[in-house]
Chains A and B, each alone.
Chain A
Amino acid sequence: MTTATLNPPAAAGVDYAITTRDLKLWYAKFQALLGITCNIKKGQITSLIGPSGCGKTTLLRCFNRVNERYGYVTTTGEIKLLGKNIYDPDVSLIELRKSIGMVFQRPNPLPISVYENVVFGLRIHDEQGLKKSDYDDAVEKALTEVGLWNDLKDRLQMKATGLQLEQQQKLCIARLLPLKPEIILMDEPCSALDVGGTRAIEELMFALKGRYTIVIVTHNMAQARRASDECIFMLMGELIEHTLTTEMFVTPKNQKTAEYIEGRYG
């Protein structure tokens, strides 16, 4: 069994949103990623699975370089987003993070109104002086897209932190949309939600798929199976297997993958 079969190389004619080459990452002296090479397809949902501490979240945070805000991080290797190496000196972190949205485990609405949450990104990036009507449109569009508009259209001025968790998480996704991100990174977006909330977020992911590339870290293998097109299995900072989700859960090629998805460890 060669690594090539476990981790398909970039194929000609396929559009990749994220490609990494031998990506290594250290937190101070601890090496968290041991050389990740992967190609994540554009417009699809790719899930990252693996036991706690395997580096899923670390890898996810590499994609918008937000790792660098969490203390001493050293990174080597290459990360290309939509063909652009994000470690090129001309890359602006502000612009990068604007086009790469991130959703967190715990919904993190800002302690301001629903309306202001949705337009937060627009406001901080507003160069040309958008009008009130532009903001209103953006709010309606984003909330409609995540399915909150009908529930919240009369309560736009309420504090976002007072919403139900499921609504909060949808709002956190809605907050990204006005910035027209290319890629949405999700770090266990459903682990604080109940069954209904989880289903709602998954349905939202399907609705957003195609227009946005979604990468989701999940602890929940059933979720990875239900909700992703491709699946990456990681262990101890290494990429073990990357295949179509349907293949991974039916015919895993690596013994470790097989044992993990059977629930022998994790």
Chain B
Amino acid sequence: MFTETPFIRKKKRNEVIAKCFFGFMAAAMVIPLFLIVGYIVVQGAPAISWEFLTENPRSGGAKGGIWAAIVGTFYIVFFSLAFSAPIGVLAAVYLNEYATENWFTRIVNLAVVNLAGVPSIVHGLFGVGAFVYFANFNDGKKSIIAAALTLAVMTLPVIIASTKEALSAVPRQFREACWNVGATRWQVIWKIVLPNSISGILTGVILQVSRTAGETAPVMLTGVATYKLLDSTGLFLYHPIKDQCMALSMHLYYIATQANNVPKATPFAIATVLIGVVLIVNAAAIAFRVYLRSRKKW
């Protein structure tokens, strides 16, 4: 009794094979990440210096630094999220907390899902029509605001979806408890739902930071120039409405494919900085999230 039969041995062998196979797949997932990031950083690191980060590009990008592109990326990320985060979060609150299932919410949900699947270049074309020409912020020329709005439209559906997810993770019983002492929906949202879902909501927004910083095609069409230096006299480094800006993603594309006489390390250095910028923004947001989450326990 309780001894191993050949049949059991065979099952155990299959178990080992399955485990190794799945484990290998999981490992395979990690390898490219380290290879890509490692390769880029190793290639780019020698070219990164204080001057590279803080000087403007010279000689068509072949010499000098990338300061203007760093600032431009921050501008685009900031303005884009300034539109998409509040609108997205509020829309998700409406869909999750107020709306009942009817034709209107079905259409909205359908739009959210399908917008998330539209390729970014299509968003770019839409941005040209809607924000550059129709909204006409800058006399029919590209502008930072147009690029930011284009990216906001692109990230909105994802923020809505992730926020809805975070909101519906708040246990139903908390809501019931509130309804049954006569709380209005707004009171439930403000006092219970938002405080308990804010960290999840932030996660969704944070993920869009890297997407916003990395997109090239839509911003190239709507607000990013290959060469646009900072106005050193003005209060703003760039004017969000009247100026185009440089961006790391676009600069990387330009340097890697269009510019002449560029040192081999420069594109890798730009890529390293782009990754670094995203990591820094994410790290700050994650630290904030950890702080918020530490106050929540149920």
At the interface, yes or no: B234 with Cβ under 8 Å from chain A? no
Task: Name the residue on B nearest A121 (C-beta).
Answer: B181
At the interface, yes or no: B298 with Cβ under 8 Å from chain A? yes
Residues of the B chain whose Cβ atoms lie less than 8 Å from the Cβ of A104: 173, 176-177
Residues of the B chain whose Cβ atoms lie less than 8 Å from the Cβ of A106: 173
| CB 8 Å contact bits of B41-54 with A (1 = contact, 0 = none) | 00000000000000
Complex alpha-carbon distance, A172 and B297, angstroms: 18
Complex alpha-carbon distance, A71 and B99, angstroms: 11
Complex alpha-carbon distance, A97 and B180, angstroms: 5
Q: Most chain-B CB neighbours within 10 Å: which of A97, A111, A176? A: A111
Complex alpha-carbon distance, A93 and B183, angstroms: 10
A111: contacting residue among B174, B179, B182, B187, CB under 8 A: B174
Interface size class of A (residues with CB under 8 A): 20 to 34
At the interface, yes or no: B87 with Cβ under 8 Å from chain A? no
Q: Most chain-A CB neighbours within 10 Å: which of B177, B178, B296, B298? A: B177
At the interface, yes or no: B232 with Cβ under 8 Å from chain A? no
At the interface, yes or no: B3 with Cβ under 8 Å from chain A? no
Task: Name the residue on A nearest B174 (C-beta).
Answer: A110
Residues of the B chain whose Cβ atoms lie less than 8 Å from the Cβ of A108: 173-174, 176-177
Interface size on B, residues (CB 8 A): 20
Complex alpha-carbon distance, A125 and B184, angstroms: 10
Q: Most chain-A CB neighbours within 10 Å: which of B100, B101, B177, B180? A: B180
Residues of the B chain whose Cβ atoms lie less than 8 Å from the Cβ of A225: none
> In the complex, are the beta carbons of B196 and A111 less than 8 A apart?
yes
Residues of the B chain whose Cβ atoms lie less than 8 Å from the Cβ of A100: 180
Q: Shortest Cβ distance from A122 into chain B, in angstroms?
A: 9
Residues of the A chain whose Cβ atoms lie less than 8 Å from the Cβ of B187: 124
Interface residues of A, dominant DSSP: helix
Complex alpha-carbon distance, A121 and B178, angstroms: 8
At the interface, yes or no: B37 with Cβ under 8 Å from chain A? no
Q: Shortest Cβ distance from A107 into chain B, in angstroms?
A: 9
At the interface, yes or no: A130 with Cβ under 8 Å from chain B? no
> In the complex, are the beta carbons of A125 and B196 less than 8 A apart?
no
Complex alpha-carbon distance, A92 and B15, angstroms: 62
Complex alpha-carbon distance, A111 and B193, angstroms: 10
Task: Name the residue on A nearest B297 (C-beta).
Answer: A159
> In the complex, are the beta carbons of B297 and A179 less than 8 A apart?
no
Residues of the B chain whose Cβ atoms lie less than 8 Å from the Cβ of A111: 174, 192, 196, 296-298
Complex alpha-carbon distance, A120 and B196, angstroms: 16
Number of A-B contacts (CB under 8 A): 69
> In the complex, are the beta carbons of B182 and A97 less than 8 A apart?
yes
B182: contacting residue among A71, A125, A159, A161, CB under 8 A: A125
Complex alpha-carbon distance, A104 and B172, angstroms: 12
Residues of the B chain whose Cβ atoms lie less than 8 Å from the Cβ of A124: 178, 181-184, 187, 191
> In the complex, are the beta carbons of B179 and A69 less than 8 A apart?
yes
Q: Shortest Cβ distance from A121 into chain B, in angstroms?
A: 4
Residues of the A chain whose Cβ atoms lie less than 8 Å from the Cβ of B100: 71-72
Residues of the B chain whose Cβ atoms lie less than 8 Å from the Cβ of A176: 181
> In the complex, are the beta carbons of B298 and A96 less than 8 A apart?
no
| CB 8 Å contact bits of A37-53 with B (1 = contact, 0 = none) | 00000000000000000
B184: contacting residue among A71, A72, A94, A159, CB under 8 A: A94
Residues of the B chain whose Cβ atoms lie less than 8 Å from the Cβ of A83: none
Q: Shortest Cβ distance from B79 into chain A, in angstroms?
A: 35
> In the complex, are the beta carbons of B297 and A161 less than 8 A apart?
yes
Task: Name the residue on A nearest B196 (C-beta).
Answer: A111
Complex alpha-carbon distance, A111 and B178, angstroms: 12
Residues of the A chain whose Cβ atoms lie less than 8 Å from the Cβ of B178: 110, 120, 124
Within 8 A of B (CB), among A151-166: 159, 161-162
Residues of the A chain whose Cβ atoms lie less than 8 Å from the Cβ of B177: 104, 108-110, 172, 175
Q: Shortest Cβ distance from B195 into chain A, in angstroms?
A: 8
Within 8 A of A (CB), among B149-177: 173-174, 176-177
A175: contacting residue among B179, B181, B192, B196, CB under 8 A: B181
- 4 closest A-B pairs by beta carbon, nearest first, are A98-B182, A121-B181, A108-B173, A97-B182
A sample of 15 inter-chain contacts (CB < 8 A) reads A102-B180, A104-B177, A106-B173, A110-B177, A111-B174, A111-B297, A120-B181, A120-B183, A121-B181, A121-B182, A124-B181, A124-B191, A159-B298, A175-B181, A179-B182
**Could you list 14 further interchain pairs (A-B, Cβ under 8 angstroms) beyond the known A94-B183, A108-B174, A125-B182?**
A66-B179, A66-B180, A72-B100, A94-B184, A97-B182, A98-B181, A104-B173, A108-B176, A110-B174, A111-B296, A124-B182, A175-B181, A176-B181, A179-B182
